[in-house]
Amino acid sequence: MPILVERLEDPFAWESNIMRAQVRVALCLAAAVLLVPGAGLCLGQAIEAVARPSRDVTLSFLRPGRIKAVLVKEGDLVEPGQTLVQLDDEAEQAQLKQLKAQAEDTIHVRAAAAQLEQANVDLRMKEWAYERNAVPKMELEHAQLEAKIKQLSLELARFENDLNQLKYLEAKVRVNQMQLVSPIAGRVEKIMLREGESADGVEDIIRVVKTDPLWVDVPVPVGQVRAMKLALGGKAEVAFPIAGEGQENRTVMGKIIHIAAMADSASETKTVRVEVPYEGSAPAGERVKVSFQAPAGSGGAMEKAEVPLSKKPPGRKE
């Protein structure tokens, strides 16, 4: 059988090819994660993420009831503390008035105070008479016990009055819980139940979102976070798509407001939250592309990732 022998013209050709391949891989990786010196933008494609509201709250009642009124409509702008939905609270309002009257009533306290005053007068008279041997000691002791009982009756009346005031405050809180109040300044996104419908106490009633500013949670590779030295307050360019073919994306400048303390081991990324001002034509929930800028004065990260292009293969002679 003939033996095929491959002749190598250059004994170091394989080592040179390996070195060139390693250099090409290193350059590709650098282009993917490092910065262009002075340009401040990431090489290659920007990272895709989703713009979402900075606040998104869904409100529900703490107790069941029938919806009496919905005071807003979808799309309305609302302020913090503004009433959105009201339950039927006619019975609760009547009970609240009753408890308020009891809390403000001090007749029992004043009556107990008057009875104590009378008991003290009787006690002084008994003491005066006892000093002159006009009454037996038993009558004096009876007057002393009567004064003590009236003192306890006054304290009990004051305690009951305090309880009535607490019951009134509790009922007032419960009545306030029968209306949904917006906790944020935002826009009514969706109304789930309308007037006349029953709420079971856990059912979602209304959703309010705050879209100014928008938040974009960007999954940035861990190596890229370190290479670009991303930090709170850093700048980022967020590209929003524009309807229509052939039109360029609209770019809005944002800032980094949060960097996750932990990385996702599965994807080897860290969540970097970018805050973007709302400009009306950038709806939340839209897919955007985010590019980060190097910190001022860093000079770019490419300077710290040099690739030894001129290194010779070991053992190679010139």
How confident is the model over 17-56, as pLDDT tens digits? 445 544 454 454 454 444 433 333 344 358 999 999 999 9
Look up residue 83 and give its amino acid. Answer: T
pLDDT in tens, 238-254: 998 876 555 567 888 99
More confident residue, 278 or 36: 278
- Sheet containing 65-70: order of strands: 179-181, 83-87, 65-70, 198-199
Radius of gyration of the chain (CA): 40
HSE of 119, CA atoms in CB hemisphere, 13 A: 20
- The Cα–Cα gap between 39 and 251 comes to 16
Residue 297, pLDDT score: 56
Residue 131 above 70 pLDDT?
yes
Q: Is 9 exposed, middle or buried (0-12, 13-18, 19+ CB in 10 A)?
A: exposed
Residue 256, pLDDT score: 94
The CATH-assigned architecture of domain 38-55+206-296 is: Beta Barrel (2.40)
Nearest of 110, 63, 109 to residue 89 by alpha carbon: 63
| pLDDT over 70 percentage in the chain | 75
Angle separating helix axes 137-176 and 90-104, nearest 10 degrees: 150
Phi and psi torsions of 63, nearest 5°: -140, 155
Q: State mean pLDDT over 79-92.
A: 96
- Both tokens of residue 25? 């891989």
Look up residue 130 and give its amino acid. Answer: Y
Residue 312, pLDDT score: 42
Q: How many Cβ atoms from other residues are within 10 Å of residue 309's Cβ?
A: 10
pTM across the whole model: 0.66
